[in-house]
A and B are shown apart, each in its own frame.
Chain A
C-alpha cells in the first residue's frame, strides 16, 4: 500500500538550531516526493520536490530510496519557518493524485 509517514506531530526548536522533519514512505515503483507547507492563515503551497534538487528558503530534502525516506532539513531555523509541513508522494502517472502524510507542525522559538 502507498503510504507516507511523518512520525512527529510537533517539532519544537529554538531559532538558529538545525531542523530535520522526517518523512518515510512505502511505495512500489518510482515515486516522486514533495514537501508542502502551510503557514499560519495561508494556503497550502509547494515548498520543494525531489526531482528539482533545489534549496528553497534554506530547506533541502534528499530522497533516500534505500531507506525510503525524504527528510526535510535546514541548518539554522528561523522564526518564520514556523508552519505545518506535509510530505507527499505520487507516481509519474499519478495525474496530480498526491498521497499526503499527516503533517508535522514546526514551532521555532526565539
Chain B
C-alpha cells in the first residue's frame, strides 16, 4: 500500500510569511504526528493528532499549529516564519490507538526561510 505522502517536498519562503504543509497517512492509519529535523537540534516532536484531536504537543511556540481532517489527512501551519524555522518537516503515521512507537515516516517537506 502507498506510504505516507507529504506535499510539497520543497519550498522557499521569506521571513514573516506563513506556510502550510500537508500529510496523507497510510490508508487506515488514524494517528499522524509531525517532527522537525534540523542539523542543530535533530528530530524534535511537534504534535500528534488522532481522530481529528491533538493528543500531544511538543515544546514549540504557538506559531506552529496543525489539524487533522476526518479522512486522517493532516496539515501543519507555521505563521510569521523565522530563519530558524528552516528545516525538514517529517510526518509520520501509525495504525495503533495506544502507543507502540512504530511510526511510518514520509519523505518530508524541506522548508527554507530566507
Footprint of B on A, CB under 8 Å? Answer: 32, 34, 43-46, 49, 86, 88, 90-103
* Known pairs A94-B56, A95-B55, A96-B94; A101 contacts B99 (CB<8 A): no
Per the 8 Å Cβ criterion, residues 41-58 of B in contact with A are 42-45, 48, 50, 55-56, 58
**Nearest-CB distance from B88 to chain A (Å)?**
10
- With A and B bound together, what is the CA distance between A102 and B48 in angstroms? 21
Contacts of A103 in B (CB 8 A): 42-43
B85-105: contact bitstring with A at CB < 8 Å (1 yes, 0 no)? Answer: 000001010101011111111
**Nearest-CB distance from A2 to chain B (Å)?**
11
- With A and B bound together, what is the CA distance between A37 and B7 in angstroms? 23
- With A and B bound together, what is the CA distance between A70 and B43 in angstroms? 18
- Residue among A32, A45, A96, A101 making CB contact with B42, cutoff 8 Å: A101
Contact status A98-B103, CB under 8 Å: yes
Contact status B45-A95, CB under 8 Å: no
Contacts of B24 in A (CB 8 A): none
Footprint of A on B, CB under 8 Å? Answer: 3-4, 31, 33, 35, 42-45, 48, 50, 55-56, 58, 90, 92, 94, 96, 98-107
Contact status A94-B99, CB under 8 Å: yes
Interface centre among B42, B92, B98 (most CB of A within 10 A): B42
**Nearest-CB distance from A82 to chain B (Å)?**
19
* Known pairs A101-B42, A103-B42; A96 contacts B105 (CB<8 A): no
- Residue among B35, B43, B45, B101 making CB contact with A46, cutoff 8 Å: B101
Contact status B102-A98, CB under 8 Å: no
- Residue among A49, A90, A94, A95 making CB contact with B50, cutoff 8 Å: A95
Contacts of A88 in B (CB 8 A): 101
Contact status B90-A92, CB under 8 Å: no
Contact status A90-B99, CB under 8 Å: yes
Closest partner residue, chain B, to A4 (CB atom): B42
Contacts of A34 in B (CB 8 A): 101-102
Closest partner residue, chain A, to B96 (CB atom): A96
Contacts of B94 in A (CB 8 A): 96
Contact status A95-B43, CB under 8 Å: no
